[in-house]
Structure formats: C-alpha cells, structure tokens
Amino acid sequence: MNAKSRVIVFGSINVDLVAEVDRLPGPGETIKTTRYSALPGGKGANQALAAARNGAVTLMAGAVGSDGQGPTALAQLRSAGVDLTAVGGVEGPSGLAMIAVDAGGENQIIVVSGANDAATCAHLPELGQSDWLVTQNEINWTETAQAHQRARGQGASVIHNTAPAHRLSAQDMAQINVLIANEHELTQAAGFEVARAVSPDEEARALLTAGVGAVVLTLGAKGAALYQGDEPVLTVPAVAAEVRDTTGAGDAFVGALAAALAAGEALPDAVATANRYAARVCEVLGAQTPPALLQTPEF
Ligand code: RIB
C-alpha cells in the first residue's frame, strides 16, 4: 500500500432535497408524499466521502454558497475527515438537487448548479506523482479540463466519471487514465450518435484508441466491465443488494475505486471493491448515508 497517495476530488457539492414517492411523476403530473429529507449530496462530494470511507486520505475541492446550506452540504465530509481547505465560499445559493425516489429505489434528479458554477481549479493544491485526481461533469468543464492538464503535468493520475454525460475531445481523452461511465455516458463521451447502433465494446475500444488509459463501464445490476489495452474485456458481476435508493451508487463506486487504486490495488481488484461498496450504498436512503446505517462494520 502506498501510504502517501491521496485522492483529490474536484467537483460538485450539493444539498439533496429528497422526496420518497410511491412512483415517479410523469410530465405535468403532481405527486403527493409525506416523506422528505434534506441530505448532503453532489457527485463530487459523494465521491470524496466514498473515498474517505474506503480509507483514502481525501481532499475535496469545490465551492458552496452563502445561503446557509454549506454546513449541511459538508457535514458528512467533515465527519469522515475529508480535507475541506480547498472548498471555497461564494456569494449566492449553494448547489441543490431536487430528487424523487420511488418505491423500487429508482430516481429522478434535477440539479440547480448554484455555487458549483464558481468552482475553480485555482483552489486545487499541488498534486504529487502518487495522487489520484477524481472529477465528474457537474461543474464548469473548462475548469475540469484544466485540472486534468495540471494533474497530469504534475505527474498525478486522473479518474474522470463522465456523469452527467458529456462529449470528450481527443485532447480531453488523452488526459484521462481511468474513465468511468454507464452505457449512455459512454456513447456520449465517445462522440457516437445515440441513435446509431454501436456496441459498448466498440465505444470503449474507440476511447482506448483515442488515448484513454482504461475504461470502466458500469452496468447497474449487471456489475461492471473493464477495458484495458488489448486485453479482453473483464466483466465483474454485481453484488446482490436489497435496493432502497440508487441515488449516489455510481458516485460511491467511483470514490471506492479511487481509494482502492490509491491503496495500490490493481484495477481489476479495485473494480470489484467498488462494486461491493456501491451495492451497500444502494440499500439505504440518500447519497451520503451515515456510517451507522450502512450496517457494514468496515465502513
Ligand atoms: O449522483 C447523485 C447526485 O447527483 C446527488 O447527490 C445529487 O446531488 C446530484 O448531483
């Protein structure tokens, strides 16, 4: 294990306004419920929390607003020991996500960016050669792309989770050591027409040819697939879970994978570790479940 490796997450920090509903509303429809919670969230923050809970020395870089929501948004990160010195405070609202979760654990999410739009890579500390920078797509892409270039220039490695979906340029692809995407995000990242029938296998191989170091394709209940170099695809089956809320499961996967890589695990083992952790997170409400509710002593 490399004790000096850190996980540096640059990304979004939100408060999630979660309504539990029997079923998700259709367009123009109003649904009533009595079950509501305000919970910490944001893809970046969720990933940082997962990295810390999986044992990584973790720093979060991003921004919260002056609306009083910052302490709620940062509460779990703080208690997990995540370094928050690179989280800036800006005038105006914090990032908010309005989330409906149905009885089967499926969700609908609307994100209001707020302070996340002011997150800048100027907040990032100097990275070392053994560090892992983790990014997603909920903050300004120009800042994220600059962060990738800086990290690679400093000898660090880059894990990019292309969520929400975003098309990557050839230059972007060349900066990414590990790309994590679901099937829809993979298609968008590779720049293929969504309507055109191209297999995930071809899309992942196209990304590798374009310079991405490795592609991890997340497949929900079917697990994950790893594409690396010319090696045959490695499929890692999902871990059984009693799903209550899938919100943040992908983020938990990303953070756990980063922590495993920072701890020196090989990528195939890190994917298996991430699968196990994501399954546990699906069993409870919210993207940043308090450790006691995970009911898994190791977390
Ligand atoms: O991936 C789940 C996250 O997406 C939620 O926590 C919400 O804040 C949105 O960013």
User: 85 φ, ψ to 5°?
Assistant: -65, -20
Query: What are the residue ranges of helices labelled H in the chain?
Result: 43-53, 70-79, 141-153, 170-174, 183-190, 200-209, 249-262, 267-281, 291-294
What is the three-class DSSP state of 246? Answer: coil
Give the Å distance between the CA of 219 and the centre of ligand 1: 18
Ligand 1 mutation pick, 37, 46, 162, max ligand atoms within 8 A of CB: 46
C-alpha atoms less than 13 angstroms from C-alpha of 51 in its C-beta half-sphere: 33
Alpha carbon dihedral 239, 245, 249, 250, in 10-degree steps, equals 120
Instruction: Tell me how many helices (H) and strands (E) the chain has.
Output: 9, 13
Q: What is the pLDDT of residue 2?
A: 47
Separation of CA 41 and ligand 1 centre (Å): 5
Q: Give me the residues of the chain with pLDDT under 70, please.
A: 1-3, 192-197, 290-299
Catalytic residues: 251
Give me the residue spans of the domains in the chain: 6-13+42-93+117-289
Q: What would you measure as the largest C-alpha separation in the chain, in angstroms?
A: 53
What's the pLDDT score for residue 288?
85
What token pair was written down for 283?
């069993």
Closest C-alpha residue for ligand 1 atom 7:
42
- Does the domain at 6-13+42-93+117-289 match CATH 3.40.710.10? Answer given as no
pLDDT attached to residue 193: 57
For a mutational test of ligand 1's pocket, the pick from 18, 134, 251, i.e. the residue with the most ligand atoms closer than 8 A to its C-beta, is: 251
Q: Are 46 and 17 in contact (CB under 8 A)?
A: no
Taking the centre of ligand 1 as the mean of its atom positions, its distance from the CA of residue 230, in whole angstroms, is: 34
